[in-house]
Amino acid sequence: MDDGVLSAAIHPKLQSPDHVFRQYLGRRAGIVKALTEDVAEFYEQCDPEKAGLCLYGLPDGTWKVNFPVEKIPSILPEPVCGINFARDGTAKKDWISLIAVHSDAWLMSMAFYHAGRLAFDREARTELFRMINSFSTTFEVVRESYKKKRSQVCNGSIENKSSFQPPRKPNSNSKPVKQALQTLEEENGAKAGEGGDDQASNECAACCEAYSDDELHFWIFCDDCTRWFHGKCVQVTPTMAKAMKKYVCPGCSYRSKATKASGANVVTSLDS
C-alpha cells in the first residue's frame, strides 16, 4: 500500500514526532473500528476463497481489506498477508485477537519507518515511542471489548442494560473532570434529537468508540483540545482523575513541550 508518504519533502505534514503520531492514531483508530464496531462487515470481507488479504488502517481513521501491493519490495511496510485463510478454521475471538496483534506490529513499523525516513534523532524517536506507548494497543482494546461483552452476558443479556448504573463521577476535588462529564451528558441529550455531523464529539478520540453511559467505561476530557478519551486508552484511572485539577492528553502534552523547547531555542540563539 502506497499512500505517497515518503519523506518531509514529499509529504510536508510529516515533519515531527507529533505529526507521525497523529497518523499512527488515525491508522490505529481504523483498525480498532474494523475489529470491534465493524467486526461483522470485516468478517464478511475476509473471504477465505480469495487470495491473501490484508487489513489496512488509514490515516483518516477508516479501514479497508485489500490485497497486498504487487511491487516488491513495497515502499511502505505491509501488514500481515493472508488474514482471511484462517477465518473459518479458527475461533472467531482468537482469529480477531491474532489480527490485532499483527496490526500492532504493523502500526509500529509504519511509525518508525517514517521516523527513519525523516531522520529523527534519539530524542525524537524516544518521544514518538512515549506517545505511542501512552495509548492502549489494538490488542488490548479488542480484549477489553470481549470482556465487556462477556460481562454483559453474565449480567443478563446484551440488549438489557437496565441493571447497569451510570459511571461514578469524580468527587468535588476534581471539579474540571466532573464538569466535563456533565458537559458530555448535556451534549448527548441535545444531540439525541439532532443526529448529524457532530457525532464525532461523542467518540473516544483514541479508538473512535461511541460514548456509552455504563460502569464499564470511564471517560476523561482533555481541557486543551476538548476531546474525550477512554481512561483505558490513555492509561488514566478514576482514582488518578480525582487528583487532577486539569487533564491534558498525550498529544497536547507533547505539543506544549515542543512549543516551550522551540521558544527556549529562540532565546538561546538571540543570546549567542
pLDDT tens-digit readout, 109-143:
999 999 999 999 999 999 999 999 999 999 999 99
- Flag whether 237 is in a domain: yes
Given a cut of 60, is residue 57 above it in pLDDT?
Answer: yes
What one-letter code names the amino acid at 192? Answer: A
| 175 and 249 share one domain | yes
| 140 and 37 share one domain | yes
pTM recorded for the entire structure: 0.57
What pLDDT score does 15 carry? 79
- What is the residue-averaged pLDDT of the chain? 77
44: Cα within 13 Å, side-chain hemisphere: 3
- Flag whether 263 is in a domain: no
pLDDT tens-digit readout, 229-265:
888 888 888 888 888 888 988 888 767 766 665 554 5
In sequence order, the 6+-apart residues with CB closer than 8 A to the CB of 136 are 144, 206, 207, 232, 233, 235
Q: What total of structural domains would you count in the chain?
A: 2
Cα separation of 209 and 215, whole Å? 15
- Flag whether 226 is in a domain: yes
Q: Which domain holds residue 250?
A: 164-255
Helical ranges in 134-249 per DSSP H:
138-154, 175-194, 238-242
pLDDT tens-digit readout, 19-31:
999 999 999 999 9
